[in-house]
Amino acid sequence: MSLSINTNIAAQNTATLLSQSSNMLNQSLARLSSGSQITSPADDSAGLAVSMHLVAQEGENTAASNNISDAVSFNQTQNGYLSQVTSALDRMSELSVQAQDVTKSDSDRSLYQQEFSTLAAYVSNVGTESFNGVSLFSNSTASNLAVTIDSSGNTFAMAGVDLNSATFTSLGGTTSIGTIAGAVAAEKLVSAAITQVGVDSAGLGANEETLSNYSSQLATLNNNLSAANSTIMDVNVATESTNFAKENILVQTGTAMLAQANTLPQIALKLLQ
């Protein structure tokens, strides 16, 4: 063994190893305390980049899922109003048939007409309703209901409902069941409106079913993205605890050995005594 006072190679080597063990111990402590496998970009720069992409996509999917939920609420609101419109149209159909009774006088028919006109006005007013400032039943809304369904910006075009079309507006205004001829004509108009509401309701049902499928799809995708990100980022507590114990022992051992290495120059001094 070579003994030197100016340069203690053994101590230097031991100090280097101790520094490495200390760094590894600090890294284990950071991982265990944070619960993250990657506590700095230096730990796994590529893995961190992939994780950031996964997290971003998961956030975008969550936003798209929220859009879908809002669209479902919009759709359900439309359906609720249409249910009431259907009830009004059913009653208008009854009134138009009752007004065709030859045993009824024009005075009786005028009473039917009063109720008929009130219900027609109700249907017209429903056509002006809105959801969060967006019209529920206008022609422009019916053609612009594109819902974002994923992180790529793809959309689903919902079938809209237009209660301001001629099929419904023709029920008001000059339409009258004050005469038998007028009642016959009104019955045909109401029947056409009822048929259109049936078509519109079917479209709303298809909208809700499709949107629910997209929502479930996004939930499944986000679960898988979260699992993939967990594989990259989440610390394996069992493995890291083992690493911590190992590095802790090495640090303690290295500290003791450094103390021993620092005594070597004292041996050299004894040779001079």
Q: Band the pLDDT of 143: cuts 50, 70, 90.
A: low
Alpha-helical (H) ranges within the chain are 9-34, 45-98, 106-126, 139-142, 166-169, 180-233, 237-261, 264-272
> What does the pLDDT average to over 243-261?
79
Q: Write the pLDDT tens digit of every residue in 173-198.
A: 778 999 999 999 999 999 999 999 99
Say whether domain 64-232 belongs to CATH 1.10.3730.10.
Answer: no
Torsion sign, CA atoms 67, 72, 77, 82: positive
Q: Is the pLDDT higher at 17 or at 86?
A: 86
Can you tell me the distance from the alpha carbon of 103 to that of 49, in angstroms, rounded to the nearest whole number? 83
- Which sign does the torsion angle of CA 250, 255, 261, 263 carry? negative
Say whether pLDDT at 3 is over 60. no
β-strand 130-131 against 146-148: which pairing, if any?
A: unpaired
Specify the higher pLDDT residue, 125 or 258: 125
Read off the pLDDT band of 214 (50, 70, 90). Answer: very high
User: Is residue 235's pLDDT more than 90?
Assistant: no
pLDDT grade for 125, boundaries at 50, 70 and 90: very high
Q: What is the pLDDT averaged over residues 124-152?
A: 87
Question: Average of pLDDT values for 31-59?
Answer: 84
Instruction: Name the more confident of 95 and 248.
Output: 95
| One-letter amino acid for residue 222 of the chain | N
Rg (Cα) of the chain, in Å, rounded?
39
Angle between helices 106-126 and 45-98 (to 10 degrees): 170
If pLDDT is split at 50, 70 and 90, which confidence band does 269 have? low
* Closest C-alpha among 254, 213, 262 to residue 8: 262
Does residue 137 or residue 234 have the better pLDDT?
137
pTM for this predicted structure: 0.76
More confident residue, 179 or 264: 179
CA 50 distance to own-chain centroid: 21
Which residue, among 2, 1, 4, has the nearest Cα to 265 in the 3D structure?
4
Q: What is the mean pLDDT of residues 211-231?
A: 93
Section 8-18 average pLDDT: 79
Pick from 260, 267, 265, 272: nearest CA to 7: 265
User: How much is the mean pLDDT over the chain?
Assistant: 87
| More confidently predicted of 266 and 113 | 113
Quick one: pLDDT at residue 246? 82
DSSP state of 7: -
CB atoms within 10 A of CB 245: 12
